[in-house]
Structure 1
Amino acid sequence: MTLMPALTGGLLFCLSNAVPIKSKSKVCGDNLMCYGEPVELLKEVIDGRTLQIDEDSHTVLDDFDHFCAYSGCNPNEVSAQAYAWAKLAFVSARISKL
């Protein structure tokens, strides 16, 4: 899965599922890409969206926590960078497109 962001038409896109995000974070700056910054990129992906609640009353973030509990993606056992990239990949693959 490709998680490299690309700037297209003034919007930042996560190529894994073409979820448009506004690039305005302090780390990334206006109209810059968040290469190597999965936490900031995730904030941009989620920013302004209402996270949908599924039939089990969970959001995508709840589902990620559940995924981690069963997959061994424990933030105490993997690097912070690996955990952040896994969370970004999971959320961006599941989030509703605007």
Structure 2
Amino acid sequence: MFEYRNPEAILEVVLPDQTKRNEHGHTLSEDFEHFCDVTGCPKADAWAKLALAWAWTSRYARD
């Protein structure tokens, strides 16, 4: 069980294997860093990373 106010704990449930890669060979962390570089989103924003992970897993992590 995780704390609902803790995005890092929720991320561990949503995407427990942080080494999983998409069809371009990128991990979620690499995609998030690129997203932040392009949009200016702070890389420390755990809620934004969780939101990206939610969308990322629905598209890439179905294996």
Q: Same fold (TM over 0.5)?
A: yes
Q: If the TM-score is normalised by the length of the shorter chain, which range does it land in?
A: 0.7 to 0.9
- The answer to which structure, 1 or 2, has the higher relative contact order (CA under 8 A, 6+ apart) is 2
Residues 70 and 50 from structure 1, CA distance in 2 versus in 1: closer, same or farther, beyond 3 angstroms? closer
Letter in 1 for 2:13: E
Q: Please point out which of 36, 55, 61 is paired with 1:93.
A: 55
Residues matched between the structures, number: 60
SS in 2 for 1:68: helix
SS in 2 for 1:91: helix
Higher helix share: 2
Larger radius of gyration: 1
* Contact 2:19/2:27 (<8 A) preserved: no
Q: Does 1:59 align with 2:27?
A: yes
Matches within 5 A, 1:9-88: 23=1, 28=2, 34-48=3-17, 51-55=20-24, 57-75=25-43, 80=44, 83-88=45-50
Moved over 4 A (4+): none
Q: TM-score, normalised by structure 2?
A: 0.72
Deviation at 1:54, TM superposition (A): 2.4
Give unpaired runs (5+ residues) of structure 1: 1-22, 29-33
Give unpaired runs (5+ residues) of structure 2: none
Q: TM-score, normalised by structure 1?
A: 0.50
Between the two proteins, what is the percent identity of the paired residues?
37
